[in-house]
Structure 1
């Protein structure tokens, strides 16, 4: 399983932003990331300064979303959708996208469910519950 460190993730997004901004060629994963970076101009300043990005600590008290976590979750949901894992997530995200009339908004709803699944797993020490995650996304798509 691919498990990059926090610094590797931050370097990846900063390098991808730089290449995207400069019009340099992107490998496929960078192209996917660049699409999400383009959707989040509020993160461009964070991505433009790699040295600061590597040092920055994002806290809940700060009241600001961690751009690297947020973009990583977009990539995760994009990959889950592409391979339909957990089985049924593609249909659920597609239904949610149609309902919200926005793939981006559908991702943000799915992110909430994904975050809850990860939090519950970390808190309980049990493996992530893909069924509960999928159920939450499906519920949001059918409400």
Structure 2
């Protein structure tokens, strides 16, 4: 069974990792990875200092708001994808974006735009995430023809 924390559990993880780091307590490997993501986002530090104020807050995209927990979670998801090169080829595409942008955070945001689009499409139309659309989107950001993206089959995802 897959680990599926509640929204409250996930947010508590962010607050706890931040507080442990601030107190100089040892962090787990996942907390260290999360802290590296948090470090890239100083705009969220004050929020993380006030769990009672922000633990239940809603961020509404239709009002131009970005949910900081979702944003940082997407960074974590990308880190996981890169560490295991899933979907296949993501690591090479990311390296190309890194060369293009010259900045790790900017390169990550380019990929996150595509990850967010894939998630939105899956939610809107059902049928699950389309990794081929995801990789095509990244190729488009690199100025490559998205139609040149090799199609992945589900069996490719198990390797």
RMSD of equivalent CA atoms = 1.3
TM-score, reference length from structure 2? 0.85
Q: Distance in 1 between matches of 2:111 and 2:3?
A: 22
Q: Deviation of residue 14 (structure 1)?
A: 0.7
| Aligned residues between the structures | 143
Q: Distance in 2 between matches of 1:23 and 1:98?
A: 35
Q: Distance in 1 between matches of 2:21 and 2:139?
A: 34
Q: Distance in 1 between matches of 2:103 and 2:3?
A: 29
Q: Distance in 1 between matches of 2:27 and 2:39?
A: 14
Task: Give matches, 1:1-143, under 5 Å.
Answer: 1-142=2-143
Summarize deviations over 1:3-41 as a string: whole Å, max 9, x none: 221111110111111112222111011101101101111
Q: Distance in 1 between matches of 2:74 and 2:120?
A: 14
Unaligned segments of structure 1, at least 5 residues? none
Q: Distance in 1 between matches of 2:74 and 2:129?
A: 15
TM-score, reference length from structure 1? 0.94
Q: Deviation of residue 61 (structure 1)?
A: 4.0
Q: Deviation of residue 94 (structure 1)?
A: 1.2
Q: Distance in 2 between matches of 1:78 and 1:142?
A: 23
Q: Which has the larger radius of gyration?
A: 2
Summarize deviations over 1:82-140 as a string: whole Å, max 9, x none: 00010111111111111101111111111110111011111111110011101211221
Flag as ranges the 4+ runs of structure 1 deviating above 6 A.
none
Unaligned segments of structure 2, at least 5 residues? 145-159
